[in-house]
Copies of this chain bind each other. A is one copy, B any other.
């Protein structure tokens, strides 16, 4: 078999059975080899940012890597923003980047570039295959590296793919353990001493009414949520979820907590008065951006910092058993907002109420609603149980691709993609893949015809002197994109909603329609 066949066969044997791809000439042998390995599903995306965002969404839902297939340095570059988000999410991805044949590189042909340097900025592991003999072993190593919760980039020269003589590698122990989170990143040791909690005996005096437990990562799944709920109920500690969790289980029947606010001022208010801050799968809270005269570090003065270290969900179970042996977790009661009796205009409150009131059981919400979604968490708190995937790395354009990946991962679950208009345009061709693959994704575009978050940030950073030219750089209204027409142009049926009744009806249609559906929801901008 040739190198490409051995690569794909080895990936499949190691459990990697989906490849999101946007190939080019140097990847043609990989593409041809797809037919020789029936277990590998190839999913074509029309832009690399869709490829990588889909691999991220897939990984968040199945907790194993998909493969990507990207075309040399520029293909990698196009996929890097969503690889950045995947890196921040701790998502396992086997990121395959095709390259020129080994002997061709010295000629500096037009597509030649420094792939390693670019890949290193988003990958925890980078390796170049240099021999067809080694390709299967390299593939296994990539799966192993990725499985630790990171992007593993495998650079694949064309001739390593096309040469014959390769053999499969047997998977062996291709399950990497999750690496421990580095809680210390960004902490100034002169300001903060960090107390590590490595067993249930390290917790004297930590949990009480003036304690905040900031959960993140794997603790946002049911097991961790139940454990911290028990601890909180027994001790009076407050639980907050990190601002942008990779995957948060919530809704009726699951302990459901507030998230730490995006705005540093609001986050500061949530944390004010805390004497102990316990990091449980999260990192120490910092401001998303810096603002003139404001601190980046959100840990209150005088607050002691603790971090649960190791297998955090298991350790939280132990702590709960030790501190709260008879305590049951506090489960969220079902609580669904009433739809307005009469139809109302869509606004910040009404659109999220409609979403909450109509949410199907077991939905996956991909949330890139940005400013329009400010009231979403509160409205959906008691909605039927669901998962929420959020923008972990701040690189916009994650929503539609993540929805592609989540829907490929979970074909039997409804996927609801709540997508801000400005961010939608970065990876809009994800709609084509939804149509092509018949994915059950209902997308709601929050169309406020503005980079509304930047209107807010322009004020928050204290920028003065901004006038019409500055405003024009944040305005998407001339022309306002018609997302319903845009969706139809790529084969996704759609409708437009300006009222609660229209949104409710179109959501009903969308959930009932096999394959994708898009709703262009006209909402007012924040500012």
Contact = CB atoms under 8 A, between A and B. Distances in A.
Contact of A244 (B42, B103, B104, B110): B110
Interface in A104-127: 104, 106-111, 113-114, 117-118, 120-122
Contact of A473 (B31, B101, B118, B460): B31
A165 interface: no
A527 interface: no
Nearest to A466: B32
A463 interface: yes
A21 B454 CA distance: 13
Contact of A481 (B103, B106, B186, B489): B489
A473 B436 CA distance: 11
A158 interface: yes
B31 A474 contact: yes
Given A393-B111, A479-B491, A481-B432, A466 B290 contact: no
Nearest to A113: B121
How many copies the complex holds: the figure is 2
B461 A158 contact: yes
Given A84-B77, A457-B28, A461-B25, A114 B120 contact: yes
Contact of A36 (B44, B88, B113, B465): B465
Interface in A468-485: 468-470, 472-476, 478-485
Given A77-B80, A296-B109, A466-B35, A158 B290 contact: yes
Interface in A1-32: 5, 21, 23-26, 28-29, 31-32
A394 interface: yes
B117 A74 contact: no
A425 interface: yes
Contacts of A95: none
A426 interface: yes
Contacts of A110: 88, 244, 288, 392-394
Given A73-B121, A111-B288, A425-B46, A28 B461 contact: yes
Contacts of A104: 287, 289-290, 296
A454 B24 contact: yes
A395 interface: yes
A32 B465 CA distance: 6
Contacts of A172: none
Nearest to A186: B107
B113 A286 contact: no
A28 B461 CA distance: 7
Contact of A28 (B47, B186, B463, B484): B463
Given A74-B394, A289-B158, A461-B158, A118 B31 contact: no
Interface of A: 5, 21, 23-26, 28-29, 31-36, 42, 44, 46-47, 49, 73-75, 77-78, 80-81, 84, 88, 100-101, 103-104, 106-111, 113-114, 117-118, 120-122, 158-159, 162, 185-186, 188, 244, 283, 286-290, 292, 296-297, 392-397, 422, 425-426, 428-429, 432, 435-436, 453-454, 457-458, 460-470, 472-476, 478-486, 488-491
Given A28-B466, A109-B288, 12 more contacts: A26-B289, A32-B458, A34-B473, A42-B473, A44-B473, A46-B425, A74-B81, A88-B110, A106-B186, A109-B289, A158-B289, A486-B489
30 contacts: A25-B453, A25-B457, A25-B460, A28-B466, A31-B458, A35-B465, A35-B467, A35-B468, A35-B470, A46-B476, A74-B80, A77-B81, A77-B395, A78-B78, A88-B110, A100-B290, A101-B290, A103-B290, A104-B290, A106-B188, A107-B186, A109-B296, A111-B395, A113-B121, A117-B120, A159-B290, A159-B292, A479-B490, A481-B490, A482-B490
